[in-house]
Chains A and B, each alone.
Chain A
Amino acid sequence: MFKYILGRIGAMLLTLFLVMTLSFWIIRLMPMSIFENPEVSPEIQKKLEDRMHLHEPMAVQYFYFIEGIAVRGDFGTSVKIRPGLDVFEILSTRIPATVVLNAFSLILSIPLGILFGSWAALKRNKWADNIISFWIVICISVPSFVFASLLQYFLTFVWPLFPTLYNAQASNFGAQLYSMILPIIALSLNPIASIARYLRGELIETLSSDFMLLARTKGLTQGEATMKHAFRNSLVPIANTIIPMITGIMGGSLVIEKMFAVNGMGGLLIDSILAGDHFLTVALLIFYSAISLFTILVVDISYGIIDPRIRVGGRA
């Protein structure tokens, strides 16, 4: 198991390095000058260029870039969005809102998805299953920003139960969280539906498997057999859907953050790309990749915990 995790971490670091390299080259080769501000005098521009090694060839800049991150944790300085500020500092002020939003959405999605999915599977072709399956189709096919608009219209305008926008200045964390409920719901509907859909399919298949029959013939009740044998087996493939789900939440978060005025990373990424704040863009891309890679690592490890065939690494 230890070896398995170590191998995964190694692969993750390698991928992260490749992502860093790719995003550096792609972003920096874009036809946009880092300094276009006429108010900055040429002398200062020259000084800044010297400091950021911008007069050097790209290959050399690339090594400065890698060295800065690897040795000093220095991602560079913002030049357009918040001129002069350290990119890492900008990130750290924006990260919490996004992380809270995405984390709550995830925490909400997984148990609810599992609940609805197994409910539908156990009541297969009964009315409960039909209702759940109907909503699964709706929630998967309608994008999250549509739900966001509907939620905003009905729950803040028609029945004003929630604040329309995220309130970062709220007096306490509870009030802050309260203003975040709508974006969390908007972000969660799709992942809940996709987990439920996968689990329903998996569980139905597992319930009709031979080992379920054996579990019953050896004297377990249907309920015991379902809990002890079917459930965990159906979770194995579900772990895989968590990865696209998390990246999906983060992608949805880009739009949802704008709609609810959440001052997170999503808005920042779009602004920095449009403004040509290359250092900031690259840092944000690396951050998003790092999060994705981290979730993949967590999923891979949980995979190993759920399924011994991966952990023990014998012949399948």
Chain B
Amino acid sequence: MMTENSTILSVNDLRISFRTVNGVVQAVRGVSFDLKRGETVAIVGESGSGKSVTMKALMGILPPNAVIEEGSILYNDMDLTKADEKVMHEIRGKRIGLIFQDPLSALNPIMRVGKQITEVLRKRGLSSAEAKERAIELIRAVGIPDPERSYSAYPFQFSGGMRQRVVIAIALAGDPEILICDEPTTALDVTVQAKILDLINQIKEERGLSVIFITHDLGVVANMADRVNVMYAGRIVEAGTAEEIFFEPVHPYTWALLESMPDLQTSGRLQAIPGAPPNMIAPPPGDAFAPRSSYALKIDYEQEPPMFALSDTHIAATWLLHPKAPKLEMPASLKERIARMRKEAEKYV
């Protein structure tokens, strides 16, 4: 942990909707979180929970039919939701870098890898010789073998993991202070995933980056994040430090996510979360997860749960935390699993 604990990016009550032919899709419905200097914040959720839309809003690359209804994104006392294209252009790449989900489609297939990196460097005013030198340095830094040769190779000549390293090198070329990783390992083989995660951790340490890590896979988050935000249906339903989310989860959705994670000890089938995420044109009233939850109370269908604070860092939006709610424990199988995770974790401390 770094001693400097200032907030570098702050998202406050962000609401984003899409105008579509079928109606207004409320993709993000009041998301707030802070990113502190030097830490990694994870945003976890299923497809369609609004995590990628939040990311696009941070970068100012929302599609034209998206509207930021409310809220602010404060970066250095500047509200990015109100920044014009000119300002965002200064921020993209230079202040905030982005790593994409699919390295295959994120790279221009017919441009040499080196050129795709130097393009950014040239924009920052380096001469072409300097840019080339710097690009080769970056290629080496992200662990691609034979940097000089890789510099003049094309994306299709690389494997998926190597391509993702190229994407990371491009993101680093602008020398940003915030790195947003949008499911950076989803499209990769499991063996490669770990290497990419290590690389992200390593460059984060070396360069003192602050990282926003977006994923649907809690397992990936475990080794990465300082703090975790669990998102469901456009809202953050539980947020806390990694320990709090993994060892003391309180929201039924977080429970379900943890239970659906593969684990060496699980016997039998994995527990899938029943049902599908709600239609965000007409999101259900109350707790959006209630229809899929086996712990739903009557009030969950009627009224939206407020945020209950469990500690300074741990908050959750579920009626189960209300003083009048029945005292409910997490399922026994999950309890065992958490106990095992604790043991695992202690081994490495």
Interface residues of A (CB under 8 A from B): 209-211, 213-221, 228-229, 232-233, 236, 306-309, 312, 314-316
Establish whether residues A217 and B108, one from each chain, have CB atoms under 8 Å apart when the complex forms: no
Picked from A211, A218, A228, A315, the residue with its CB within 8 Å of the CB of B174 is A218
Number of A-B contacts (CB under 8 A): 77
Establish whether residues A210 and B154, one from each chain, have CB atoms under 8 Å apart when the complex forms: no
Could you say which of B88-96, B190-198, B207-215, B267-275 contacts chain A?
B88-96
Establish whether residues B110 and A217, one from each chain, have CB atoms under 8 Å apart when the complex forms: no
Given known A-B contacts A217-B61, A217-B98, A219-B93, A309 and B109 have beta carbons under 8 A apart: yes
- A residues within 8 A CB of B59? 217
Rounded to whole Å, the gap between the CB of A63 and the closest CB of chain B is 47
Q: Is B171 interfacial (CB-CB < 8 Å)?
A: yes
Establish whether residues B92 and A217, one from each chain, have CB atoms under 8 Å apart when the complex forms: yes
Q: Is B265 interfacial (CB-CB < 8 Å)?
A: no
Q: Count of chain B residues with Cβ under 8 Å from any Cβ of A? A: 29
Establish whether residues B93 and A217, one from each chain, have CB atoms under 8 Å apart when the complex forms: yes
Give a binary string over B62-94; 1 marks a CB under 8 Å from any A CB, 0 the rest.
Answer: 000000000000000000000000000100111
Given known A-B contacts A219-B120, A220-B119, A236-B110, A214 and B156 have beta carbons under 8 A apart: no
Q: Is B340 interfacial (CB-CB < 8 Å)?
A: no
Contact residues, B81-134 vs A (CB, 8 A):
89, 92-94, 97-98, 100, 102, 105-112, 119-120, 123
- A residues within 8 A CB of B97? 217-218
Q: Is B157 interfacial (CB-CB < 8 Å)?
A: yes
Q: Considering residues A210, A211, A228, A312, which has the most beta carbons from chain B within 10 angstroms of its beta carbon?
A: A211
Q: Is B167 interfacial (CB-CB < 8 Å)?
A: yes
- Majority SS at the chain B contact face: mixed
Given known A-B contacts A309-B154, A309-B156, A315-B156, A215 and B108 have beta carbons under 8 A apart: yes
Closest CB pairs A-B (n = 7): A219-B93, A210-B105, A217-B98, A218-B93, A211-B108, A210-B106, A214-B106
- B residues within 8 A CB of A217? 59, 61, 92-93, 97-98, 171
What is the bound-complex CA distance between A214 and B112, given in angstroms?
A: 15
What is the bound-complex CA distance between A66 and B280, given in angstroms?
A: 73
What is the bound-complex CA distance between A261 and B171, given in angstroms?
A: 62
Give a binary string over B231-262; 1 marks a CB under 8 Å from any A CB, 0 the rest.
Answer: 00000000000000000000000000000000
Given known A-B contacts A214-B98, A214-B167, A309-B154, A220 and B123 have beta carbons under 8 A apart: yes
Establish whether residues A214 and B119, one from each chain, have CB atoms under 8 Å apart when the complex forms: no
